[in-house]
Structure 1
Amino acid sequence: MTPPLRTLSNWSPEVVVFDCDGTLMDTERHWQDARNRAFREFGLRPPPGFADRAKGVHYVDCGHLMAEETNKPELAADLTTALLAHFMSLVAEDPLTMPGAGEMVRFLSGRLPLAVASNCPLEVVEESLGRAGLRRHFRHVVVPTGPPDDSGIALGKGGERLSAVRPKPWPDVYTTAARLCGVRPENALAVEDSLTGVESAWRAGMRVLGVGPLPDEASTGHADAWVAALDDPEVLRWVRDWRRPPSPGGDKNHERHGPH
């Protein structure tokens, strides 16, 4: 059963953290095209139902999954490289926002802090949001700092030591976004389109609004509510009724948090 938006109607977030692919940017079809091109490049066929299993998965994990499900484990690294190259090319050619995403971001900008938490490489997120004219509205962009199995230490852009940020469904991208915005996770709203992302935000302790086609007819995971699109009139009414929160602490400069 789809959780109705009224389950969130009496609550207002202090921060909104958006996923990028499929939530802000209409790039999920680019990932699908990139996967198909990478398969063809190596003379392989996508296994039945692979697109559903790959949705929201970190691209390195996806490359390994492509190799595993085609019984070509030796091609994992090559498939991963080809996947990212094809995707970057497609995004550069055709950056589109999801219905209502741009309007919601622009409405909230300046009213409360906004951030992005994505499994994509930093340059992909920056390029997509920049070409769509949305990057300036986000205080922080958080992406995984290294490979999915990296549990070591990453270096920030100023040379400071940072704990490694693991990809979704680990909660790291969301807990980091909330911390950088100066709020507790339970006071933040995550906006997600995949069950992988929903699980990540839920594990971080956030409230979660799911958006887009239901990823699974039997379950919406841990989403507090689910809507078809961000231009849904009910969503717009809810957002306009939010109480403006006090300014959170922390650095107010726009920052990136990712591999450097």
Structure 2
Amino acid sequence: MTERRIHDWSPSAVVFDCDGTLVDSESHWQEARLRVLHRHRLVPAPRFADRAAGLHYTACGRLMAEEAGKPELAGELADQLLGEFRRLAAAAPVVMPGALALVRLLAGRLPLAVASNCPADVVETSLAGAGLLRRFGSVVVPGDGLRPKPAPDLYETAARRCGVDPADALAVEDSLTGIDAAREAGLRVVGVGPRPPAPDAGRADLWVGSLADPGLLELVGRWLSDR
């Protein structure tokens, strides 16, 4: 059972996703996608939002264009998507339930990093607005040879910057795209949000409804007491 990989173990570092995990920015991405699609009078295929969740904005722009039958618009849609998101995220950052308390509990006890598919300025603005940025030793985003999730690059690099082997680090993720990236990098993973049906549920080592989950906090307390 995958949960044994979490309960019978203790991490040496924790790497958090940002969007939808620490900051409630997925609603901003959804609104940004709707605004761009409306501007171009495009209608996406059913369940588009599920397929877009966790994608790098360039991949999302490409998906939007392809599903609307206008692949030539991929670059334009991606640029507009990022612009809309930046405006929304700067205006109304919202911390996910339990995120601030959990990060405060871990900060100073374990090395912490963020691995996000968003550009660095977007991540740092969102985290600063939520009062979280200074708690993290490193923010790792695509670029300089690092591929976006679902490639493992961001999580591998974040663990190394924390000074640990990826096998000794824990990832905290809300999307299956990010979970796959973390697992491929060798990290163990806590999935956050509604538990998906099998077999997707097995892609994370543990699922919690939110970062305020009492079981998660108890587990973290045990990890810290063992150090």
- Taking a change above 3 Å as real, the CA distance of residues 244 and 112 of structure 1, as seen in their structure-2 partners, is farther
Shift, 1:181, TM fit: 1.1
User: Given the alignment, which residue of 84, 90, 93 partners 1:92?
Assistant: 90
Q: Deviations over 1:125-181 (max 9, x none)?
A: 000000111000000000001xxxxxxxx3xxxxxxxxx100000000000011111
Q: Match of 2:75?
A: 77
Shift, 1:215, TM fit: 4.8
Whether the 8 Å CA contact 1:88–1:124 is kept in 2: the answer is: yes
Shift, 1:46, TM fit: 2.5
Q: TM-score, normalised by structure 2?
A: 0.95
- How does 1:100-249 map onto structure 2 within 5 Å? 100-145=98-143, 154=144, 164-215=145-196, 218-243=199-224
- Percent identity, aligned pairs only? 57
| Aligned mates of 1:187, 1:53 — CA distance in 2 | 30
Letter of the aligned partner of 1:95 in structure 2?
Answer: P
Shift, 1:220, TM fit: 2.2
The 4+ residue runs of structure 1 with deviation greater than 6 A are: none
For structure 1, the 5+ residue unaligned runs are 146-153, 155-163, 247-260
For structure 2, the 5+ residue unaligned runs are none
Whether the 8 Å CA contact 1:36–1:46 is kept in 2: the answer is: no
| Aligned mates of 2:4, 2:94 — CA distance in 1 | 29
Shift, 1:19, TM fit: 0.2
| Aligned mates of 2:116, 2:31 — CA distance in 1 | 19
Shift, 1:30, TM fit: 0.7
Q: Deviations over 1:206-232 (max 9, x none)?
A: 000000123556422521111111101
Shift, 1:8, TM fit: 1.4
Whether the 8 Å CA contact 1:211–1:229 is kept in 2: the answer is: yes
Q: Deviations over 1:5-52 (max 9, x none)?
A: 565122110000000000001011111111010100111122210000
Q: Match of 1:151?
A: none
Q: TM-score, normalised by structure 1?
A: 0.84
Whether the 8 Å CA contact 2:65–2:71 is kept in 1: the answer is: yes
| Aligned mates of 2:17, 2:93 — CA distance in 1 | 16
Q: Match of 1:31?
A: 29
Q: Deviations over 1:96-129 (max 9, x none)?
A: 0111111100111101100000001111100000
